[in-house]
Chain A
Amino acid sequence: MKRLHVILDDREVDENPYQPDLWRIVRRYPLTSDVNFYQARAVDVDKTLTMDYLPGQFVMGSVLGEGEAPFSISSTPSRPGLLELCVRKMGTLTETLFSLKENQTIGIRGPYGNGFPIDKMEGKDVLIIAGGLGAAPLRSLLLYVLDNRDKFGKLVYLHGARTPGDMLFREEFMQLKEREDLECLLTVDKDDTGSWTERTGVVTSLFDEMGPIDAANTYAAVCGPPVIYKFVIQHLVKLNIPKHQILMTLERRMKCGIGKCGHCAIEYLYTCMDGPVFTYWDVLHMKELIGKGVSDNVIA
């Protein structure tokens, strides 16, 4: 029982890791017809200021009576004080969340997960590819790199959405196009407005338009609906970006966020603890990570 005594006597962490803290919604507005943007501040002000996280991490969000679900963080730790989340109306929990107004509270605990390997990415070029709601976690990385611009090499941001109206943070990203310290390319599958000034086509078509990259020196970060991984990764591999430098952030059902409830297990990894950011190298030998079609029959 030696080991157990060590564990039970270890009182360093007395807090209940399942305990949600109350956060107040300070601002919310729609980003698209079914995605809302939330800015929140902890009711206990110290918590807001001390919450330290990495781009790519997530929080468990509670809505009173509706339970808990994981939400990726859209804000960057380089701008502390407010936590920002993008929420798509998907089920009963998010429907109730949509009905909440400014000054109402939600439960938050976290941050959880590994996040992007910022330390390793420093000094390298960064290529970010977002599809649809995949922009939610990737915006955190994008803003982080912009806020620490001198620590990174070249920065390329590619973003695809179905229509202009479906593009998250459209205005914000349009403004980024004015900046000279990054390459920002936006595309939609279909322009139903007639006033779209950017490209039309699937997100992978942007690969042909972006400038040359130094593949061995590049980290690529991908997030989007399952369908985009297959095609985006094919391109990235063709560009010779090393497989362990192709990063993707994944979604799974989670009930705890701390490696206990089992739901997000993939082989011996937990998405909540070992992910949600995985490399393409992980995907190659974790067959369930992004499902059929991506890693099947890949040998070389």
Chain B
Amino acid sequence: MMILKMKKEDLSVFLETVKEWGELWGPARKGERVVFQRVDGLSQMDLKATRTIIPPKKFLYPQRFTMFDFDDKGYVERTEHVPNRILFGIHPCDIHGIQVMDELFLEEYRDPYYAERREKTLLLGHSCIPDDKCMCSARDTEFIAEGFDLFFTDLKMFYLVWVGSSRGHDLVRMRPELFNRNIGRDDILNYNEYRKWKKAQVQSGADFTGMPDIFELGYNSPIWDELAEKCLSCGQCTMVCPTCNCFNVVDEVELGTVEGTRDRFWDSCMFREYSLVAGGHNFRDKRVERLKLWYTHKLQAYISEFGEPSCVGCGRCVATCPVDINVVTVTKALREQEVGK
């Protein structure tokens, strides 16, 4: 892959230029929190923030949108104007998350709503500063080799810029004078130092090894009941997870007519209605069954199917769950057969 070098002070000019291609979005402070927002330029972004509340999946797969308009003549696909967007400052874990989504939405039965947004969104990744909630080392997601258009690794004086796609290369070609290929001995040493530094930062203690077997052995473990006692079924873990894709579909009708819209919105397997079928039978009536589904799906089932868990180690469930149920505490509890305080 092409790797270029760029002076740090040139980033602002570069972003100013690429705005010609589309809207610029990046991590920005909103009160206490950091969210992906539309920005005018680099000065409005907070590139030191470890994570946004909601992962960038919201750009590819909005919380709620209309799939079809309908009337008595049938269902007409709603094609909305999706703007060209450049997402700057996406971290490796989130790019890994998008790759999981790509597999789901773009392979068998290609989802046209996702595909359109994916095509109109450029991903400009940026290296990050892990905090105590990050688990990327346990998941091997602390670095990223593909899935982005450009990726900027901050080496204090310079950026090393990975060019991951033809479209990413087109952005470089808008200001070729800002980039060079003069990568020398010091750059290699710096990059190696950076990798060592990053690995050392991640100290969550998460350990996903052997999970399929631990889950299988612990399927009927009372640990699950203890966790379910604490769980509030609020579903926040699923909203903030970069690889949670579940959705519900409902028809909204204009009162007194047969016209309406078929809308799709994020759903959560933590909600009681999730597995409820007509007639009232609920395949996962108990909270413990729903909690088990989520963790089994992320950490056992995905390994069986794809060879690795669908958790990308972003730490959002750790940061979000109000009662401290997350991939770290659940795997630890199952492994040690004790629910931590």
Residues of A within 8 A of B (CB): 1-5, 7-8, 10, 13, 16-22, 62, 64-69, 88, 90-91, 93-94, 105, 107, 226, 251-253, 255-256, 258-263, 265, 267-268, 273, 287-288, 291
Most buried by B among A4, A8, A67, A252: A4
- How many CB-defined contacts (below 8 Å) exist between A and B? 137
Q: Contact check, A1 vs B105: say whether CB atoms are below 8 A apart.
A: no
Grouping DSSP codes into helix (H, G, I), strand (E, B) and loop, the A interface class, with mixed when no group exceeds half, is loop
Q: Contact check, B275 vs A253: say whether CB atoms are below 8 A apart.
A: yes
Chain B residues with Cβ below 8 Å from A68 are 249
Q: Give how many B residues have a beta carbon under 8 Å from the other chain's beta carbons.
A: 59
Chain B residues with Cβ below 8 Å from A90 are 277-279
Chain A residues with Cβ below 8 Å from B109 are 13, 17, 258-260
List the A residue with the shortest CB-CB distance to B102.
A4
Most buried by B among A8, A10, A16, A67: A16
7 shortest interchain CB distances as A-B pairs = A262-B246, A268-B301, A90-B278, A91-B278, A1-B165, A258-B109, A65-B253
Q: Contact partner of A69 among B108, B258, B278, CB < 8 A?
A: B278
Check if B283 is an interface residue, CB within 8 A of chain A.
Answer: yes
List the B residue with the shortest CB-CB distance to A70.
B277
List the A residue with the shortest CB-CB distance to B76.
A19
Q: Contact check, B267 vs A263: say whether CB atoms are below 8 A apart.
A: yes
CA A8 to CA B149, docked complex, whole Å: 14
Chain A residues with Cβ below 8 Å from B276 are 253
Q: Contact partner of A65 among B67, B251, B278, CB < 8 A?
A: B251
Check if B235 is an interface residue, CB within 8 A of chain A.
Answer: no
Q: Give me 6 other A-B pairs in contact (C-beta within 8 A), A93-B278, A252-B277 excluded.
A: A252-B275, A253-B283, A256-B249, A259-B109, A268-B300, A288-B293
Shortest CB-to-CB span from A166 to chain B, Å, is 15
Chain B residues with Cβ below 8 Å from A263 are 246, 267, 274-275
Chain B residues with Cβ below 8 Å from A5 are 165-166
Q: Contact check, B247 vs A255: say whether CB atoms are below 8 A apart.
A: yes
Q: Contact partner of B149 among A1, A18, A20, A94, CB < 8 A?
A: A1
CA A262 to CA B289, docked complex, whole Å: 15
Q: Contact check, B300 vs A267: say whether CB atoms are below 8 A apart.
A: yes
CA A226 to CA B281, docked complex, whole Å: 10
CA A42 to CA B245, docked complex, whole Å: 32
CA A21 to CA B250, docked complex, whole Å: 17
List the A residue with the shortest CB-CB distance to B168.
A1
Chain A residues with Cβ below 8 Å from B277 are 90, 251-253
Q: Contact check, B147 vs A17: say whether CB atoms are below 8 A apart.
A: no
Q: Contact check, A107 vs B249: say whether CB atoms are below 8 A apart.
A: no
Q: Contact partner of A262 among B70, B148, B267, B283, CB < 8 A?
A: B267
Check if B74 is an interface residue, CB within 8 A of chain A.
Answer: yes
Chain B residues with Cβ below 8 Å from A62 are 75, 251
Most buried by A among B106, B251, B267, B278: B278
Contacts A66-B251, A67-B249, A265-B293 given; does A260 touch B111 at CB 8 Å: yes
CA A7 to CA B296, docked complex, whole Å: 28
List the B residue with the shortest CB-CB distance to A60.
B249
Q: Contact check, A10 vs B249: say whether CB atoms are below 8 A apart.
A: no
Give 1 or 0 for each of B299-334: 1 = CB within 8 Å of chain A CB.
Answer: 011101100000000000000000000000000000
Shortest CB-to-CB span from A51 to chain B, Å, is 17
Q: Contact partner of B305 among A13, A258, A268, CB < 8 A?
A: A268
30 pairs of residues in contact across A and B, judged by CB atoms under 8 Å: A1-B146, A2-B146, A7-B106, A7-B107, A7-B110, A13-B109, A16-B77, A18-B68, A64-B251, A65-B253, A66-B251, A67-B262, A69-B278, A88-B279, A90-B278, A94-B278, A105-B72, A253-B274, A255-B249, A258-B108, A258-B109, A262-B245, A262-B246, A262-B269, A265-B293, A267-B301, A267-B304, A268-B305, A287-B219, A288-B283
Q: Which of B56-88 contact A (CB under 8 A)?
A: 67-68, 70, 72, 74-75, 77
Shortest CB-to-CB span from A6 to chain B, Å, is 10
Contacts A2-B146, A263-B275 given; does A255 touch B248 at CB 8 Å: yes
Chain A residues with Cβ below 8 Å from B304 are 267-268
Give 1 or 0 for each of B253-268: 1 = CB within 8 Å of chain A CB.
Answer: 1000010101000010
